[in-house]
């Protein structure tokens, strides 16, 4: 069939005419001609393969890593009533937690505690409101719905042991946007005056869970 296509092409016939005489579609004729051309030009074929490998390698190198090897929890406002939280727990900290709780870290219930700290110098206990959200074992991020617009939130990632929440990591504050019009001249979002973690924030060590008190 290819020989016939090439013969008709040498007679200066169009692709449509060749397809009609051979009982093929225009696409099938083009495919056979292109395949024949690739066989006749091995350099072009090799260059094409090299280009494909380079493109694949570039896409792989520019791909964002899934993990960064740091203990962290971040929170972002996705809208007036939705927060997006993502976290990473390194293996050293996992082992430390498992050692303290004498349990497999993979099977300890994990969750988020969302604090409404609007207009508060947060000390870990004086939040306006607290909301707990359980997350699945394999999750590394979570959407928290039904938060209030125009409020400041801090999120703890932690574990639940016998009904008690044990915080491991704390996020920086985030402010949800308002869902109403601002008064003329009024800022859309009030800046956070102090985002530092209080010195008496409940910490986790390899020996005990303790709470520091101010002196």
Q: Using one digit for the tens of pLDDT, what is the confidence trace for 37-89? A: 666 555 445 556 666 666 666 555 555 555 567 888 999 999 999 999 999 88
pLDDT of residue 180: 78
Q: Is the pLDDT of residue 21 over 90?
A: no
Residue 50 Cα distances to 42, 62, 65, angstroms: 12, 18, 25
Q: Is the pLDDT of residue 190 over 60?
A: no
pLDDT of residue 166: 84
Give the predicted TM-score (pTM) of the model: 0.56
pLDDT of residue 186: 65
Higher-pLDDT residue of 100 and 147 is 147
Q: Which of 49-53, 124-128, 170-174, 201-205 is least confident?
A: 201-205
For residue 122, what are its two tokens?
């947060």
Q: Is the pLDDT of residue 169 over 60?
A: yes
Give the pairing of strands 72-79 and 82-88.
antiparallel
Higher-pLDDT residue of 126 and 28 is 126
pLDDT of residue 111: 92
153: buried, middle or exposed (CB in 10 Å: 19+, 13-18, 0-12)?
buried
pLDDT of residue 37: 67
Handedness of CA 145, 146, 152, 158 (dihedral sign): negative
Residues 144 and 81: their CA atoms lie apart, in Å, by: 8
Residues 20 and 26: their CA atoms lie apart, in Å, by: 8
Residues 85-125 have pLDDT tens digits of: 999 888 888 788 778 777 777 788 899 999 999 999 998 88
pLDDT of residue 38: 60
pLDDT of residue 46: 55
Q: What is the DSSP-derived secondary structure letter of residue 175?
A: E
pLDDT of residue 213: 43
Half-sphere exposure of 44 (CA within 13 A, CB side): 8
How far from chain centre, in Å, is Cα 115?
A: 22
Q: Using 50, 70 and 90 to split pLDDT, how confident is the model at 133? A: very high
């Amino acid at each position: 069939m290819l020989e016939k296509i090439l013969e008709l092409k040498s007679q200066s016939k169009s692709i449509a005419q060749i397809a009609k005489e051979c009982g093929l579609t225009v696409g099938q004729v083009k495919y056979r001609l292109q395949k024949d051309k690739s066989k006749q030009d091995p350099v072009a074929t090799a260059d094409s393969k090299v280009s494909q490998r380079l493109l694949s390698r570039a896409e792989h190198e520019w791909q964002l890593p899934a993990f960064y090897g740091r203990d962290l929890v971040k929170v972002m406002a996705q809208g007036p009533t939705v927060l997006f939280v993502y976290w990473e727990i390194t293996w050293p900290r996992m082992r430390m937690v498992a050692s303290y709780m004498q349990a497999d870290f993979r099977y300890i219930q994990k969750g988020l505690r969302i604090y409404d700290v609007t207009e508060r110098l947060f000390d870990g206990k004086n939040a306006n409101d607290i909301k707990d959200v359980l997350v699945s074992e394999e999750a590394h991020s979570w959407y928290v719905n039904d938060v209030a617009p125009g409020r400041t939130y801090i999120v703890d990632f932690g574990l639940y042991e016998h009904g008690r929440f044990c915080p491991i990591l704390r996020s920086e504050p985030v402010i949800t946007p308002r869902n109403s019009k601002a008064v003329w001249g009024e800022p859309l979002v009030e800046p956070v005056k102090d985002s530092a973690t209080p010195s008496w924030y409940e910490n986790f060590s390899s020996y005990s869970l303790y709470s520091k008190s101010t002196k």
